[in-house]
Amino acid sequence: MAKRNAQWLDVTSYSQGEARVPRTWQRRTPNLRLVVTRLLHHEGWWLQVRDLGIDGVALGNAEIEAALTEAMSIVREHLGRLVQECAEG
């Protein structure tokens, strides 16, 4: 696994002889696993955070840095809604 920065790791599975073009980035916390990836037959980047019920949110064709930033914004927004629901419940 190639390191991107302290938080996101390239977890792309490569075949021998295949060009090393990162297609899947992962960020883990003790309680969450965030994945930003490209899907076969689909354009752009996609977000998946199964622990939060986020599965297949399109992030568009942006550069990876923009896709990772957008992914974090979506997760923060989702967590904020969950906290609000708990506060109201």
Number of folded domains in the chain? 1
Low-confidence ranges of the chain (pLDDT < 50): 1-4
Structural contact between residues 6 and 19, judged by C-beta atoms closer than 8 angstroms: no
Reduced to 3 states, what is the DSSP secondary structure of residue 67? helix
Alpha-carbon radius of gyration of the chain: 14
- Strands (DSSP E) contained in the chain are 2-3, 9-10, 24-28, 33-37, 45-49, 54-60
pLDDT digits (tens, 9 = 90+) for 67-76: 999 999 999 9
Length of the chain: 89
The domain of 78 spans 2-88
